Amino acid sequence: MNITGKFAAMAALIILSACGNRGTLEPPKGQSLPNAVYGEAEKPTGEELITPSTQARPERSDELLRRSEKRQDDKFDLPPPG
């Protein structure tokens, strides 16, 4: 493949990667969103379904170590059997 072909392929990939849907999420025709979770009054929206929970994406802790501390013994840190 010559340089022109490589350039054309890269340009096509860049153009294709830029054409994403920016509208609201909707289910395909003939299908509906999942039912409401037990105990909830209404169905979740498409945006709510793709938003990760805090358990799935926990916040980062930037707490710096101020001074060295000796590790405490871990009674469950046992060597492998045998």
What are the 10-residue block averages of pLDDT along the chain, 82 residues in total? 80 74 75 82 83 82 75 85 83
What pLDDT is recorded for position 20? 66
In angstroms, the Cα distances linking 4 to 14, 15, 17, 18, 47 are: 15, 16, 20, 21, 42
pLDDT the model gives residue 66: 75
pTM of the shown model: 0.36
| CA atoms of 48 and 59, how far apart (whole Å) | 19
Task: Round the CA-based radius of gyration of the chain to a whole number and report it.
Answer: 26
Q: What is the pLDDT of residue 11?
A: 83
Structure letter (DSSP) for residue 13: H
